[in-house]
């Protein structure tokens, strides 16, 4: 069963080594002389070409680097030539291009051969990619120990994603390593300081849940903010939830911590995890979860509706029992048929999305959403708003969509409030009543720390002639940046148009906004 059963940000699956995301596109660094206006590039290129044609691998790679911005035929030609001549950086790039079918016909086997050539020469990104392949077992026989060996070679050269993957190996007890949450956290933190967004997300989640470290909400928020500021979509989503979990005092601590972490990163320094958690006997903890599951199962078998739903969640998560989505579904269905709104919503989500055991069935999804909505289940009301807005499984109906959005919004659903506000925004120029409703719903959502609404409310203060309060508008946008690292570049453009005095007023007002919102939670 998909995880609509689990609506909390911290009910997440155990991080896994992720080969698909492990090694980013290789970075090509042009020769220093390329940006030196005193250098005659025509002459330099001719000299490099002459050397390359005589078999100089570095010259061939430098020549390719001159064309890296355009990614044109010359870049492709000289990258291949440099790789064939044995330049390890070129081999890594050529492998990436072959594996993805970029500039050449896709050939994953040949791509792996070039990754291996570069890896054996010590190219760290290639070493990480070879580790990925041994973990996947797509082109070679799957071998976690061999994957770990290559990851460790790359990690010795501070390759961030390899370090992150070693953390996952410790967390899950892979590659012959003994399961060790604290050791895993050490690797995750190390990768996070090296700017791995995946590691930064994991570190934030671990601090938020107390996995491998003592629970520390300011530290959790700080790391999630840093990941979000790098435009990581997972972090940008996660931080919206995390901001609702912390107090204003914790938020202020997190702001100081963010500045400290950024300063350390600029200096190329790191810190170990804060407050490692005392050792926990995994066998005892597992036994306790298993006993709790058996207790819930016994109640569920006797017809306890809440217990039936808890059993479904346990199977979906693998909590106290082996993960089994096929077993989760019928227990969720039992609870839904008995009238439990949360189970009805989860069942609707399953029919809407589908999984390995249940085919997508939009009409059935709508039926269960409506049953839950009749009980004022806020997520089901919002889902129906989306469905009638998009026409997914039903005939598109704007009036019904707005009605469901409005009902969810009036019950406090921030995204429904945002969607309503956006609808009214499109009509605000011609309808004064729409302008008022736009501000109403953007404000309601913004006061729930909905990042997009905070930003949209700020922009609305700028563009709506009836409310040209630019200080208030800038304040809401600055608050969104401070809380969520959201659209900082856009806010900077607005700031540049205002006087230093107004920017200072807006900054003071932003602090006030954040304080008021967080203290009213």
Please give the span between the terminal C-alpha atoms of the chain, in angstroms, as a whole number: 32
The average pLDDT across 331-335 equals 96
Percent of residues, the chain, with pLDDT higher than 90: 63
Judged against a pLDDT cut of 90, whether residue 236 lies above it is answered with: no
* Nearest partner of 473 among 485, 493, 398, judged by Cα: 493
Judged against a pLDDT cut of 70, whether residue 293 lies above it is answered with: yes
The predicted pLDDT at position 428 comes to 86
The conformational region for residue 281 under phi > 0 = left, psi -120 to 50 = alpha, else beta, is: beta
Judged against a pLDDT cut of 80, whether residue 31 lies above it is answered with: no
The average pLDDT across 246-262 equals 94
List beta partners, residue 213: 276
Q: Are 203 and 221 in contact (CB under 8 A)?
A: no
What SS3 state is found at 52?
helix
The conformational region for residue 215 under phi > 0 = left, psi -120 to 50 = alpha, else beta, is: beta
The predicted pLDDT at position 451 comes to 87
d(CA 81, CA 72) in angstroms, rounded, equals: 14
Judged against a pLDDT cut of 70, whether residue 439 lies above it is answered with: yes
The average pLDDT across 277-296 equals 75
Rounded to whole angstroms, what are the CA distances from 294 to 286, 287, 299, 322? 12, 11, 9, 12
User: Phi, psi at residue 510, to the nearest 5°?
Assistant: -60, -40
The average pLDDT across 142-152 equals 98
The predicted pLDDT at position 128 comes to 97
Q: Which two tokens stand for residue 506?
A: 């807006």
The average pLDDT across 310-322 equals 89
Summarised one tens digit per residue, pLDDT across range 464-475 is 765 578 899 999
The predicted pLDDT at position 383 comes to 96
Residue 390's CB is within 10 A of a number of other CB atoms, namely: 11
Residue 384's CB is within 10 A of a number of other CB atoms, namely: 25
d(CA 342, CA 313) in angstroms, rounded, equals: 11
* Nearest partner of 113 among 93, 146, 91, judged by Cα: 91
Residue 36 binned pLDDT confidence (cut-offs 50, 70, 90): very low
The predicted pLDDT at position 2 comes to 31
Least confident of 41-50, 89-98, 377-386: 41-50
* Nearest partner of 147 among 160, 161, 130, judged by Cα: 130
Q: Say which residue the tokens 């945002």 belong to.
A: 418
d(CA 146, CA 193) in angstroms, rounded, equals: 26
- This prediction has a pTM of 0.76
List beta partners, residue 140: none
For Cα atoms 278, 282, 284, give the angle at the middle one, nearest 5 degrees: 105
The predicted pLDDT at position 3 comes to 30
Give the residue, 71 or 496, on which the prediction is more confident.
496
The predicted pLDDT at position 285 comes to 66
The predicted pLDDT at position 4 comes to 30
The predicted pLDDT at position 19 comes to 56
Give the residue, 41 or 30, on which the prediction is more confident.
41
């Amino acid at each position: 069963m998909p995880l609509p059963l689990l609506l909390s940000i911290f009910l997440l699956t155990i991080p896994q080594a992720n080969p698909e995301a492990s090694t980013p596109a290789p970075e090509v660094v042009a020769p220093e002389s390329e940006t030196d206006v005193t250098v005659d590039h025509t002459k330099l290129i001719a000299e490099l070409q002459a050397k390359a044609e005589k078999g100089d691998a570095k010259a061939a790679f430098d020549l390719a680097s001159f064309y890296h911005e355009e990614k044109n035929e010359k870049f492709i030609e000289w990258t291949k030539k440099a790789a064939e001549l044995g330049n390890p950086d070129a081999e890594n790039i050529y492998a990436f291009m072959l594996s993805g079918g970029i500039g050449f016909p896709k050939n994953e086997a040949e791509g792996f051969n070039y990754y291996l050539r570069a890896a054996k020469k010590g190219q760290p990104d290639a070493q990480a990619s070879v580790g990925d392949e041994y973990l996947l077992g797509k082109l070679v026989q799957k071998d976690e120990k061999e994957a770990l060996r290559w990851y460790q070679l790359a990690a010795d050269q501070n390759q961030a994603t390899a370090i992150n993957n070693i953390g996952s190996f410790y967390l899950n007890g892979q590659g012959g390593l003994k399961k060790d949450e604290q050791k895993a956290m050490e690797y995750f933190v190390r990768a996070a300081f090296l700017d791995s967004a995946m590691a930064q997300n994991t570190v934030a989640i671990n601090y938020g849940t107390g996995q491998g470290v003592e629970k520390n909400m300011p530290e959790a928020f700080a790391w999630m903010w840093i990941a979000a500021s790098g435009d990581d979509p997972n972090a940008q989503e996660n931080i919206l939830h995390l901001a609702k979990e912390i107090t204003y005092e914790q938020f202020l601590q997190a702001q100081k911590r963010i500045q400290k972490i950024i300063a350390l990163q600029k200096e190329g320094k790191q810190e170990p995890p804060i407050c490692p958690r005392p050792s926990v006997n995994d066998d005892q903890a597992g036994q306790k979860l298993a006993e709790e599951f058996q207790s819930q199962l016994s109640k569920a078998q006797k017809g306890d509706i809440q217990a039936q739903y808890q059993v479904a969640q346990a199977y979906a998560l693998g909590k106290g029992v082996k993960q089994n989505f096929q077993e989760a579904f019928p227990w969720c269905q039992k609870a839904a048929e008995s009238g439990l709104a949360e189970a009805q919503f989860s069942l609707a989500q399953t029919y809407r999305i589908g999984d390995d055991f249940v085919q997508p069935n939009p009409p059935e999804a709508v039926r269960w959403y409506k049953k839950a909505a009749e009980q004022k289940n806020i997520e089901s009301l919002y889902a129906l708003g989306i469905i009638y807005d998009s026409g997914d499984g039903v005939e598109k109906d704007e009036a019904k969509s707005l009605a469901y959005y409005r009902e969810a919004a009036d019950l406090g659903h921030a995204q429904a409030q945002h969607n309503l506000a956006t609808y009214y925004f499109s009509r605000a120029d011609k309808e004064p009543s729409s302008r008022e409703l736009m501000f109403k719903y953007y404000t309601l959502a913004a006061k729930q720390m909905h990042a997009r609404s905070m930003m949209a409310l700020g922009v609305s203060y700028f563009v709506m002639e009836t409310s040209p309060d630019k200080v208030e508008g800038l304040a809401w946008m600055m608050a969104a940046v401070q809380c969520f690292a959201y659209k900082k570049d856009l806010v900077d453009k607005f700031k540049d148009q205002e006087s230093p005095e107004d920017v200072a007023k807006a900054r003071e007002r932003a602090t006030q906004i954040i304080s008021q919102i967080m203290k009213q939670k």
